[in-house]
Chains A and B, each alone.
Chain A
Amino acid sequence: MNKIASAGNKGKGVRSDCFISIEILNDSGIEIQLESKVKALYGDSIIKLAKEVLSNFNITNAKVIIEDFGALPLVIAARIEATIIQLIDTDKEFLTPFLEENKYKTTKDRNRISRLYLPGNTPSLMINAGIHKPNGIILDLEDAVAPAKKAEARFLVRNVLRSLNFYGAERMVRINQIPNGLEDLDYIIPHNVNLILIPKVESANQILQVENKINEIQKKKGNIYPVWYMPIIESSLGVLKSLEIAQSSKNIVAMAIGLEDYTADLGTKRTMEATESFFARCQVVNACKATGIQAIDSVFSDVANMEGLKQNVLKSKSLGFDGMGCIHPRQIKVIHENFAPDADEIAKAKKIVNAFLEANEKGLGVVSLGTKMIDPPVVKRAQKLIDMAINVGKLSKNWRDIENEKL
């Protein structure tokens, strides 16, 4: 009996995905059966791609069944590779094209107001994620992927990092809990992931393990772009150790809190008022501010309740958080609008920035607004606020020109 393996998804509601099964044979060559709703348009190219992947792994005799539901080539290739590695021992990979548009790096202090969670084994949710302009997208290998699908999700996430355009969003991956998550790093570090989310962190040592593994991979692959970390605090121990964790690496740019697991750990329920997590959130925010990194709040799970989300964001902002996760693209706008500075804050910041630029133009060393002197950190904060307002669309990029024109 020949060994048969499979990967991918099928069944009701599955879109932009495919299900592959492969049986390795002794002779008789390659036989490919294709069922696809886009067969008339892409049948030939799907078969050509399948043959390319098989030949990359030196498979010359096999029966391949492809059930396709409009999957993009990067998905088909990932599914076939995930099937093959169950059948043969190999250290080869089949890499889809690395888009030039995906070779960008991110800075430590960029906006991380919104970051959109995308289940790591569901291509249909990934394809259009970037058009909603979240600050970051998270390809999630952890809780959003069923245990049996963890292995195949890595190939998909790797190909997505290479071949899918997220239009400038920070490209993040949430790896599995340490130590299992360390293996995930092999699949993502060489493909310009910008930031790694590390779940359920309870000690500085866990961060160091991640850092060592990343250094090792980067040395081997010669990757020069920085990879930032965002630990997620999801337990009472994690909360109490949050300062130590935040200080554990210079590559940590933000720290998040995950309230579902945290409230379970406390033995309580997550409520709208969130009194039960008040201490934890304050603790995490303070650990972040003390270390000079961004504090990121937990996701708001009721995707239909936009007013509830808004209230949640306003509360979060008032506690000192700099952003929060989203689980649906519709949440992005609400999060941006309400985390962003309001009209009064923007007006004040504009005055400060204008005063600074005018002082510069006149060659003055001291910036003053009316009778008040303005310190450099105040100018910097105002500039950051302006950037954020521009970023979320509350202010035009050319606001100064536009205002000068009006004068």
Chain B
Amino acid sequence: MWVNYQKIGEILKMKNYNLVKNAIGRLVPTEINGKSYVPYMGVGKYRPTGRKYAPLISTCADYPSDGNKLIPSLKEALIKSGLRNGITISTHHHFRNGDLIAQQIFDIAYELGIKDLVWFPSASFECHSTLIKYLEDGTINHIEGSMNGALGRFATEGKMKGIGVLRSHGGRYQAVQDGDVHIDIAVIAAPTADSFGNATGDRGPAACGLLGFALADSQYADKVLVVTDNLVPFPCIPWQIHGNNVDYVIKLDQIGIPEKIVSGTTEITKSSDRLLLAEMTAQFCEEAGIVHDGFSFQAGAGGTALSIGTYFAEMCKDKSIKARFARGGSNKYLVKMLEDGLTDYILDGQTFDLEGVRSMRENSGHINTSPFTSYNYHGKGNFSSMLDVVILGATEVDVNFNANVVTHSDGYLLHGIGGWQNCLFSKCTILPIPLFRDRIPVVKDEVTTICGPGELIDVIVTERGIAINPLRTDLLEKLKNTTLPIKTIQQLKDEGEKICGIPAKPKHTDEVIAIIKWVDGTVIDTVWKIEK
């Protein structure tokens, strides 16, 4: 279906980068930010050997025996942790658009005249666009994480000093575990913690559910800081983060803005077009035999995906069956399924609303998971490949079923990868997407940026037709008598272009502004600078 990985020797010298064509036919750099990178080799092809990365050995003699690791200020803690030029600092997106910590860290770094930091967030949000000034003045060299909105525009226009690296949630865990990324200081914002550093996200004024994205950082970073606005006497129960991994604890007045923590796309869509997509997807799953007793599913946080979840719940009720587990992104709809006995478990990866937080606290069937258990590709298996079906979004799909989730069709960075790449390993990956957005066709000859290889993407559901990947002859057979409009991906592409017109290929420069990592740490594609 695509170019084989034959030409690893074919090195194209462009600008300062060594660019090679990887196994999916994309030009990728082999060295950026002074580090070398392995080009994508195909699904399951790259098998690194050697041992996992290990943090430094600590000794209890260096820590207070009364367990009190409180430090009066974040600034003091950062200085004690060795804040200096060129180091990597990590934060997490449990507070989503209500995060107040990243800003404070870089304000302190700026005040101290520190330069060339690498920010390694598990994701960035619109609230972080205030950090642009630190990217401009060199306090921050580059971001290894998602870059959306204003940050995405800034990076795509080539204004970031270093080159961005985008990873999936599982890829982030893999990178830390394998030592691809060395975290000097991890700052974990915790809604509740004790002075020893035990911390939880399921309670406190800034409750956000779980703290799974910080797990790798707490295990592997040189220095681990816990910042909380709700300090409780030892022990903090439950301890989602182990105090035994924590160096310092800092108490602040406020660490996040609660109403923005649980914001986002957490309501069922009211758009009749999207409801139709959800309904078609649910009908597809039913006819494909996916919705059976004991099945498992994961649906993203978008309005369409949430609606599909509620259709699944209705089907379970009608057929008197239940799911064994639903992975998420938990929210009030999933919680209702759990409480109505329509699923045995929620295996929660991040909590999207307060109902989710409450359920996690109260319900023993609501389990918190991490990128290690759910997504990490360099482990002895993970949960995502066990899922019967996942429902994901995409900005573009091409005629080979390759999909893009990070850039807009004009080449600008738009979204992070999230758990998207990791979920592609499920038994059936379905992307319900409109055939075009405003005038922009979604099915193309080639996607702007490949984030997921087509061999892992099984079904594209659009309002004007459903394309099944030809590799999935089993699904084609099951759906052969359906009333659903099954078409080829090429037909969908033609139909979209007939309505919208054939789009021009947007121009980009040959300057690399970011790379897209595959789940195994290899480089699957490149994001190029756009001249404004």
Contact = CB atoms under 8 A, between A and B. Distances in A.
A41 B438 contact: no
Interface string B456-491: 000000011000000000000000000100000000
Contact of B438 (A15, A73, A132, A329): A15
B448 to A, nearest CB: 10
B498 to A, nearest CB: 9
Contact of B440 (A41, A73, A328): A41
Given A42-B504, A72-B500, A330 B438 contact: no
A44 B272 CA distance: 32
A177 B407 CA distance: 49
A38 B504 CA distance: 10
Interface string B255-272: 000000000000000001
Contact of B272 (A42, A70, A132): A132
Contact of B411 (A40, A43, A70): A40
A325 to B, nearest CB: 16
A23 to B, nearest CB: 26
Contacts of A237: none
Interface in B492-532: 499-501, 503-504, 506-507
Contacts of A37: 438
Nearest to B434: A128
Interface in A65-91: 69-73
Interface in A54-72: 69-72
Contacts of A45: 501, 504
A38 B408 CA distance: 11
A72 B504 contact: no
Nearest to B412: A40
B340 interface: no
Contacts of A132: 272, 276
A42 B499 contact: no
Given A131-B276, A330-B275, A41 B503 contact: yes
B92 to A, nearest CB: 33
Given A128-B273, A132-B272, A71 B410 contact: no
A302 to B, nearest CB: 14
Contact of B439 (A16, A131, A328, A330): A16
A72 B410 CA distance: 17
A328 B272 contact: yes
A42 B464 contact: no
Interface in A104-146: 127-128, 131-132
A128 B409 CA distance: 21
B504 A131 contact: no
A42 B438 contact: no
Given A40-B411, A70-B440, A131-B464, A330 B500 contact: no
Interface string B279-311: 000000000000000000000000000000000
A70 B438 CA distance: 5
Contacts of A329: 272-273, 276
Interface residues of A, number: 25
Contacts of B272: 132, 328-330
A319 to B, nearest CB: 28
Contacts of B437: 70
A165 B501 CA distance: 14
A332 to B, nearest CB: 9
A42 B463 contact: no
A73 B501 contact: yes
A41 B273 contact: no
Nearest to B409: A41
A346 to B, nearest CB: 17
Interface in B431-453: 437-440
A330 B274 CA distance: 11
B463 A131 contact: yes
B463 A72 contact: no
B506 A41 contact: yes
Contacts of A40: 409-411, 504, 506-507
Contacts of A38: 410, 438-440, 503
B484 to A, nearest CB: 12
A42 B506 CA distance: 9
Contacts of B438: 15-16, 37-38, 69-70
A72 B499 contact: yes
B277 to A, nearest CB: 10
Nearest to A36: B439
Given A40-B410, A41-B504, A131-B464, A72 B439 contact: yes
Contacts of A72: 439, 499-501
A393 B279 CA distance: 14
A15 B436 CA distance: 13
Contacts of A396: 483
Contacts of B500: 42, 72
Interface in A381-407: 393, 396
A398 B504 CA distance: 44
Contacts of B499: 72, 127, 165
A45 B505 CA distance: 12
Contact of A42 (B273, B275, B439, B507): B439
A229 B272 CA distance: 29
Contacts of B503: 38, 41-42
B490 to A, nearest CB: 19
Nearest to B279: A333
A228 to B, nearest CB: 27
Interface in B201-252: none
Interface in A160-181: 165
A391 B384 CA distance: 40
B463 A71 contact: no
A51 to B, nearest CB: 15
Contacts of A42: 439, 500-501, 503-504
B467 to A, nearest CB: 16
Most buried by B among A44, A328, A330: A330
Nearest to B499: A72
Contacts of A165: 499
A127 B463 CA distance: 12
A129 to B, nearest CB: 10
A330 B504 CA distance: 35
B506 A70 contact: no
A132 B500 CA distance: 19
A132 B411 CA distance: 32
B504 A44 contact: yes
Interface string B392-433: 000000000000000001110000000000000000000000
Given A15-B438, A40-B506, A72-B499, 11 more contacts: A38-B438, A38-B439, A38-B440, A42-B439, A42-B500, A70-B440, A72-B500, A132-B272, A329-B272, A393-B483, A396-B483
29 contacts: A38-B438, A38-B439, A40-B504, A41-B409, A41-B503, A41-B504, A41-B506, A42-B439, A42-B501, A43-B504, A70-B439, A72-B439, A72-B499, A72-B500, A72-B501, A128-B273, A131-B273, A131-B464, A132-B272, A132-B276, A165-B499, A328-B272, A329-B272, A329-B273, A329-B276, A330-B272, A330-B275, A393-B483, A396-B483
Instruction: Return the 5 tightest CB-CB contacts between A and B, nearest first.
Output: A70-B438, A329-B272, A41-B503, A40-B410, A40-B506
Interface of B: 272-273, 275-276, 409-411, 437-440, 463-464, 483, 499-501, 503-504, 506-507
